[in-house]
């Protein structure tokens, strides 16, 4: 599919719903995967056919030539057009992944009898599989560590040392001890003002944050994209309202604007909603918590719009921007959304701006995407945030109690090509 190993797995997850579930090709791909690539046991354990993989002895994950022969298609160049066969293969891979995850979960339940399941590891970032697992009802409670990929290993090592080697007693807290995953660096008003001084930035400081939240909500309702920089940075791969770019989920053009003019990334990739926790079931067929944006659930049926009769025969690009609900910016092609529930006691400022937007529009949710452009890390410092504002077509930036209007800033020029600083993901 042309996506990078240890980088593009989430793209495959986002591409999968563009496959045609009724097509013979998807069924054939599923059969090929299960008969040639992977042997799945009844308990969910699996055996990979090493004939098709190179990671055990080489510098590549797979043998391209063998995979091309196996699936009957050439390896896609990473930046070339996606065809329906790519979407169908993505769907087949996702189907098999979900089957394995659910089979493993059933075996764990059988072996332990526990009502609780904790997930970690890179596959636990597959939000679609997580949602399917929860909906199976195998466990009463499913907890997914927010930095479930390799970064979470550092947390696990620290906890192991604390509890195993230092014999410290475990003290479970509700909902957990992660502080909303807001565990990274934090910057003061002085840091923000020094950044503004360095770039001769124009800004307005609000003493009353409630006033700033209301002004931000007004700009969101007018179709603007706003950089939102508050408090401690998130730990893990998801922006959860402290290093986020936010927009109006009702806006039909918001997905295109964020993908093409701000994130500079592939247009097929969906965006996630941040929804007030108390309003979650108003928009989604789900009434639980998802504070770390690691669960995909369906948009409420009553909010959906019917698709055109010729939908499945349309080219991928035409499918992208067909309205599917009254919150089109966060409704994926299969009527799903990767939900973040926002709790007032965990992130009061983010909750307040979404609540102000609700007071204004009647909708208690916004689009939330990470505050960065494609290939770059999420912004950490005030300087990172201001640079991102000026390098993109973002409209406003809110840092702490400081408000920056892009139109009021000085012209931005850079001597080097900043887009070449980081390799595209």
Say what the pLDDT of residue 98 is: 96
Residue-level pLDDT at 420:
60
pLDDT score, position 422: 56
- Domain 9-153 annotated CATH 3.30.750.24: no
Which residues of the chain form CATH 3.90.870.20? Answer: 189-420
- How much is the pLDDT for 8? 83
Q: Report the percent of the chain where pLDDT is more than 90.
A: 71
Helix axes 189-198, 382-391, angle to 10 degrees: 40
Which H or E element spans position 47?
A: strand 46-48
List, as one string, the DSSP characters of 80-101.
Answer: SPP-HHHHHHHHHHHHHHHHHH
- Peptide bond preceding 175 in cis form (omega within 30 of 0): yes
3-state secondary structure of 237: coil
pLDDT tens per residue, range 23-52: 999 999 999 999 999 999 988 899 999 999
What stretch(es) of the chain map to CATH 3.30.420.40?
9-153
Buried b (16+ CB within 10 A) or exposed e, 102-113: bbbbbebeeeee
| Paired tokens of 213 | 């939240």
> Pairing state of beta strands 204-205 and 141-144?
unpaired
**Cβ–Cβ contacts within 10 Å for residue 326, how many?**
16
pLDDT single digits (tens) 320-340? 878 899 999 999 989 999 999
Q: What is the pLDDT of residue 87?
A: 92
Query: Which helix (DSSP H) or strand (DSSP E) does residue 10 occupy?
Result: helix 9-15
The DSSP secondary-structure symbol of 260 reads I
If we measure between CA atoms, which residue out of 393, 403, 371, 388 comes closest to residue 218? Answer: 403
Strand, coil or helix: 247: strand
* Calpha distance 419→398 (Å, rounded): 24
User: What pairing do the DSSP bridges indicate for beta strands 141-144 and 116-119?
Assistant: parallel
Tens-place pLDDT, residues 269-314: 889 999 999 999 999 999 999 999 999 999 999 999 988 888 877 8
189-420: CATH class = alpha beta
Look-up of token digits 């890179």? 122
Task: Give yes or no for a contact between 396 and 226, defined as CB atoms under 8 angstroms apart.
Answer: yes
Q: What's the Cα-to-Cα distance from 273 to each of 40, 88, 117, 197, 420, rounded to whole Å?
A: 34, 26, 25, 34, 30
Stretches in the chain below the pLDDT threshold 70: 415, 417-425
Q: What is the pLDDT of residue 62?
A: 86
Taking the C-alpha atoms of residue 167 and residue 162, their distance in angstroms, rounded to an integer, is 7
């Amino acid at each position: 599919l042309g996506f990078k190993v240890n980088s593009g797995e989430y793209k495959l997850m986002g591409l999968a719903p563009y496959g045609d579930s009724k097509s013979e090709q998807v069924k054939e791909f599923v059969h090929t995967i299960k008969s040639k690539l992977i042997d799945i046991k009844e308990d969910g354990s699996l055996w990979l056919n090493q004939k098709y993989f190179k990671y055990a002895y080489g510098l590549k994950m797979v043998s391209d030539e063998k995979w091309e022969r196996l699936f009957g298609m050439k390896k896609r160049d990473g930046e070339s057009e996606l065809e329906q066969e790519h979407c169908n293969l993505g769907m087949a891979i996702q189907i098999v992944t979900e089957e394995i995850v659910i089979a493993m979960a059933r075996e764990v339940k059988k072996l332990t009898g526990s009502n609780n399941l904790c997930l970690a590891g890179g596959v636990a970032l597959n939000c679609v599989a997580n949602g399917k697992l929860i909906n199976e009802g195998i466990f009463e409670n499913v907890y997914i560590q927010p930095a479930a990929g390799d970064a979470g290993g550092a947390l696990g090592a620290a906890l192991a040392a604390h509890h195993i080697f230092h014999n410290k007693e475990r003290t479970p807290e509700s909902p957990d001890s992660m502080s909303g995953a807001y565990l990274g660096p934090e910057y003061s008003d002085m840091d923000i003002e020094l950044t503004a001084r360095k770039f001769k930035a124009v800004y307005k400081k609000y003493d009353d944050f409630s006033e700033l939240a209301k002004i931000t909500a007004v700009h969101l309702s007018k179709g603007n994209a706003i950089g939102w920089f508050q408090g401690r940075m998130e730990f893990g791969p998801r922006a959860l309202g402290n290093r986020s770019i936010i927009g109006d989920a009702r806006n039909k053009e918001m997905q295109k604007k964020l993908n093409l003019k701000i994130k500079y990334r592939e247009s097929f990739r969906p965006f996630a909603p941040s929804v007030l926790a108390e309003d979650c079931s108003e928009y989604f067929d789900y009434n639980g918590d998802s504070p770390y944006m690691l669960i995909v659930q369906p948009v409420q049926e009553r909010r959906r719009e019917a698709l055109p009769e010729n939908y499945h025969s349309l080219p991928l690009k035409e499918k992208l921007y067909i309205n599917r609900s009254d919150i089109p910016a966060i409704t994926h092609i299969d009527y799903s959304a990767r939900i973040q529930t926002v709790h007032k006691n965990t992130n009061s400022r983010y909750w307040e701006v979404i609540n102000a937007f609700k007071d204004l529009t009647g909708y208690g949710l916004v689009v939330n995407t990470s505050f960065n452009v494609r290939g770059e890390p999420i912004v950490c410092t005030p300087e990172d945030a201001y640079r991102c504002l000026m390098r993109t077509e973002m409209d406003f930036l809110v840092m702490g109690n400081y408000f920056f209007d892009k139109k009021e800033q000085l012209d931005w020029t850079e001597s080097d090509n900043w887009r070449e600083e980081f390799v595209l993901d």
